[in-house]
Amino acid sequence: MTQDTTQDAAPDAAGLRIGDLAALTGVPVRTIRFYCDEGILRARRSAGGHRRFDRSSVEQLDLVRRLRGLGLGLPAIAAILAGERSIAEAVAAERAALDVELAALAWRRASLAAVETATPAERAARLALLAAVTDQHAARGALVAFWRSLYIAQLPPEMIEMFLEVSVPTPPADPTPRQVVAYAELVAVTGDRTLLRRMLERGRYTIERIDDEAELLTGIAAACELARPLVRAGRAPAPGPALDRFVAAYATGLRSRDTRAFRQELLVTASVDRDPRLRRYWRLVGEVTGEPVTVGVAQAWLVDALERSVGQV
């Protein structure tokens, strides 16, 4: 049995006694023993079996105490003392982990507030809605899985990531109750299998007839950018340069010309973009992100403009 009593002899050339180290640092003897057993501090043994510490142990123990005060775990501290990691790296990693914890707590707090502030009549439904998105990362994962399942064509990875960036909002770090509810509703919309089937059917139709879907998507994106300021200004959907760019993207992809007959056919193809569920999805994206006009809202405006251009009600 080892002996680490504070009754040991006075400090000698062999180093500091454990009691001396405790007195110099204010760290209890039993805590120092624990750090030794965990490999945080190194000690030698005297002829009598007592632990002896170098003078450098005072600085090391002070550092351990300060890092523990910041919440760093023993593995991270051990890596610092061993020179495997800098203090800056360990502190940055701890801060990043804390950010994740705080975001989870903020999401939970907003969810609780959303249930608390609901009317008695809607509380049960809201509770069920939010129960499906208790984890904001899992909620975002569900949205990513929905949109990825629609990529039938071989698109460049960077284009897929760009599309995901605008169609799948990142959960806010400190969401409001309304944002949490909106995000939960996004997940509910994408959970509708009939909507997924409609969008897949349109995707198959497109891939069968269009050789370069990447070029088509680029053209649609350009048309949406032209439409955004019109939507933001409250302009009613109407023919114009934005719609012409939208139709041209399809005409090029389908190796056709922009005619009235072509626009009528395109309106049928774009019918899924007029689906109320999809339109609601893009409005909800705006509620989560605070974006005045999402790309989906701009595209819906273009489809409505297309409808007007062919004179259909």
Q: What is the mean pLDDT of each run of 10 residues along the chain (313 residues)?
A: 46 74 90 89 82 89 91 91 92 93 94 95 95 91 92 75 91 94 96 92 80 86 96 96 96 91 91 92 96 95 95 56
Distances (CA, A) of 235 to 180, 209, 230, 240: 30, 33, 5, 12
The two structure tokens encoding residue 212: 């370069």
- Would you state the pLDDT for residue 159? 83
Q: Number of H helices and number of E strands within the chain?
A: 15, 2
Matching CATH number, 18-85, of 1.10.8.60, 1.10.1660.10, 1.10.260.40, 2.60.40.10: 1.10.1660.10
As a whole number of angstroms, the distance between CA 211 and CA 242 comes to 23
Give domain limits for the chain.
18-85, 124-309
- Would you state the pLDDT for residue 6? 45
- Would you state the pLDDT for residue 276? 95
Distances (CA, A) of 261 to 1, 199, 300, 310: 95, 23, 20, 9
- Would you state the pLDDT for residue 10? 46
Distances (CA, A) of 173 to 102, 108, 286, 291: 8, 11, 16, 16
- Would you state the pLDDT for residue 8? 44
- Would you state the pLDDT for residue 238? 95
Is 174 within 8 Å of 256 (Cβ atoms)?
A: no
